[in-house]
Structure 1
Amino acid sequence: MRAPEKADIVPWIARTLSSPTTRRLRQQAYRLNALRKREGKVVDVFINPRDPFSFVLLQALPDLKQRYDIRFRCHTVWQQPQEMFPEPAMWADWAITDASRVASLYGLGGPNPSKHPSEEAFIVCRDQLLNLEDNGDYLTPACDALRALWRGEAIETARESSLSQPDLAERLRINEQRLSTLGHYQGSMLHFRGEWFWGIDRLDHLENLLIREGLTFSPPTDATWTRTWTDLGKHAKPLEQSHPARNDALEIFFSIRSPYSYLGLERAIMLANAWNLPLELRPVLPMLMRGQAVPDDKKWYIFQDTKREATKLGIPYGFVADPLGAGVERCYALFEYARAEGREVEYMRTYARAVNAEGIRSETDRGLQIIVERSGLDWHKARPMLNDQGWREWAENNRKAMYSHGLWGVPSFHYGSVSCWGQDRLWLIEDEIKKRGGD
């Protein structure tokens, strides 16, 4: 009997770190520390004027302030580290489009896609926000400043700054140091009880935490910031085989290593089945296998956030056996075989569940055999195909196709004229199905 290897133990560590008990203990530790500092009701908010999601987020905060017994402490940040934003130009274009879409979903103001702010305008707005941090009525003037910035309106510059440029620079440095110390790297984030909440997309998690903590002004209710996910596929009407909306498949660009891709795959399969829509899987290499970095802070946030999202959606996650390297290569080497058998969707879903929720080591023959046979495929036929390298060409073609849609991260989706990034944007795909006669 062989001795346990590190790779045998890591899934169990991941399972422990992502367990509800560990999460509760972490929240309790932060709660006690906050109470000791008399900051038990403080939610830290990090606003980056360069990030249009910050504009959308600020508009949502008055609603939370009205319904929950909390106090916002706002910090202006500025840096967007290159290792965290591997495609900065693409990110800037995507962020404006995506922030506009989610703002529209909630009836909020979004950035003007035709009026991208200048660097000078960003700096003026940044300094305004830094000055406002001492203002007891921060939210209203800060939102006004960001609205002027992102809507292309005249930016107020006449108001005399209460801080000198060196003081502004020092305050900015302190804010960014605090962001880093708490364990994050970008703006449009809220921090409470040791957890991070991105933009309005994760406000439902914050709401649920505040409700559990008893920080509501009225009898507890359900979270309300849930429009991106709560009704997906629930009112679908399966399309007839001859319906024109079925002429295009729902394409999903995903990586078998990406936790968000796992959620996206599960949700895309559900949506495609609900509408009787063809689903086309387009696997790509993980970022780390494409020469792009994923720093530890980013990996840790993604791991924790995926667990929250998975729990919310009823998808098992946390018993993770990272397939990076050989696991990914072996998965993709058998994809064409699975497709030839008409089992590619079941194969990829089984594989994703195995490495994300069952701790199965796909880089081993024992683990891969389990996955293959659960998918309805023949292990004896599959095993000789593991050395095939032909998949590298189609994986690269898939990456290029994804980039052609203005997207670089996974999971990304394309249907008809709509392209979007993130498992929490599938409502855009469903809206397009409805527009094409599915509703």
Structure 2
Amino acid sequence: MPTLSADVFWSFRSPYSYLATRRYRALTQEYDLTITLRPVYPLAIRRPDFFETNHPNWLGYTMRDFVRVAQYLGIPVAPPRPDPIAQNMLTRQIAADQPYIFRLTRLGQAAARRGAGLAFADEVSRLIWGGTENWHEGDHLAGAAARAGLDFAQIEAEAATDAEALDAEIAANQQALEKAGHWGVPTLVFDGEPFFGQDRIDLAVWRMKQAGLESR
């Protein structure tokens, strides 16, 4: 039976992406399965008015819920310091200057080019959402890259010098996500079928087992 493959559409700003990623990664270790990271820019970049036009209760509920899910799963979680998106959380206004998210997403796509996107996303999201203060400074990101088997200097240089091509690939990821039938993250797509959310992992595994997914 050939190795099965799936894509996961993912954002560095999404706490639910963080909650799902170590479990996606564990699946690739348990099963004969490859999961390709397809990073996308978060809604704050794609739709800056999202937070202003959504229901006033959305943000508060989401923050309560992802903390609750993390506690249930036994996954450490803390507010990101700094947030990958510069945003006034009181007014919900997205800042014009975004010093983190473009760099992060391009790094993620550069890692995906090397087949290590999922591992890189897992290691970096543990920094951002797991309580590491100033995760963007010092050797934090370099350490995450090393744990994912990557040369950080190499992917950082690529993110800077090949930004236009990387952004085109990231835009193509977004188009592929929408073509698969969804728009949000995390969404795992297997055989053209989307499974949106960190709470649909078991359902995705069930579907893949129907297609012959085998343990390693």
User: Would you call these one fold, judging by a TM-score over 0.5?
Assistant: yes
Q: Is the 8 A contact 1:361 1:368 kept in 2?
A: no
List alignment gaps of at least 5 residues for structure 2: 86-97
Bigger RCO of structures 1 and 2 (CA < 8 A, at least 6 apart): 2
Match of 1:269 in 2: 25
The residue type equivalent to 1:372 in the other structure is A
Residues 73-84 of structure 1: pairs in structure 2 closer than 5 A: none
Match of 2:202 in 1: 427
CA distance change for structure 1 residues 437 and 414 in 2, over 3 Å: closer, same or farther? same
Q: CA deviation at 1:434?
A: 1.9
Q: Is the 8 A contact 2:8 2:189 kept in 1?
A: yes
CA distance change for structure 1 residues 291 and 418 in 2, over 3 Å: closer, same or farther? closer
Q: Does 2:162 correspond to 1:405?
A: no
Q: CA deviation at 1:375?
A: 3.5
Match of 1:316 in 2: 76
TM-score, scaled to structure 2:
0.78
The residue type equivalent to 1:400 in the other structure is Q
The residue type equivalent to 2:180 in the other structure is H
Q: Is the 8 A contact 1:330 1:363 kept in 2?
A: no
Q: Distance in 1 between matches of 2:157 and 2:37?
A: 23
Q: Does 2:157 correspond to 1:378?
A: no
Q: Distance in 2 between matches of 1:340 and 1:403?
A: 21
Q: Does 2:47 correspond to 1:291?
A: yes
CA distance change for structure 1 residues 341 and 438 in 2, over 3 Å: closer, same or farther? closer
CA distance change for structure 1 residues 398 and 386 in 2, over 3 Å: closer, same or farther? closer
Q: Is the 8 A contact 1:259 1:302 kept in 2?
A: no
The residue type equivalent to 2:7 in the other structure is E
CA distance change for structure 1 residues 363 and 297 in 2, over 3 Å: closer, same or farther? farther
Question: CA-to-partner distance for each residue in 1:188-231, whole Å, 9 max, x for gaps?
Answer: xxxxxxxxxxxxxxxxxxxxxxxxxxxxxxxxxxxxxxxxxxxx
CA distance change for structure 1 residues 285 and 336 in 2, over 3 Å: closer, same or farther? closer
Q: Is the 8 A contact 1:350 1:371 kept in 2?
A: yes
Match of 1:280 in 2: 36
CA distance change for structure 1 residues 315 and 401 in 2, over 3 Å: closer, same or farther? same
Question: CA-to-partner distance for each residue in 1:301-321, whole Å, 9 max, x for gaps?
Answer: 222211111111121112423
Residues 34-433 of structure 1: pairs in structure 2 closer than 5 A: 243-244=1-2, 246=3, 248-292=4-48, 293-295=50-52, 297-321=57-81, 322-324=83-85, 325-339=98-112, 341-364=114-137, 367-387=140-160, 388-389=162-163, 390-433=165-208
Identity %: 28
TM-score, scaled to structure 1:
0.41
CA distance change for structure 1 residues 394 and 383 in 2, over 3 Å: closer, same or farther? closer
The farther-off stretch of 297-306 and 372-381 is 372-381
The DSSP-based 3-state class of the residue aligned with 2:181 is coil
What is the number of equivalent residue pairs in this alignment? 195
Q: Distance in 2 between matches of 1:383 and 1:280?
A: 20
List alignment gaps of at least 5 residues for structure 1: 1-242
The DSSP-based 3-state class of the residue aligned with 1:249 is strand
CA distance change for structure 1 residues 252 and 334 in 2, over 3 Å: closer, same or farther? same
Q: Distance in 1 between matches of 2:168 and 2:136?
A: 21
The DSSP-based 3-state class of the residue aligned with 1:294 is helix
Q: CA deviation at 1:349?
A: 0.7
Larger radius of gyration: 1
Q: CA deviation at 1:383?
A: 4.0
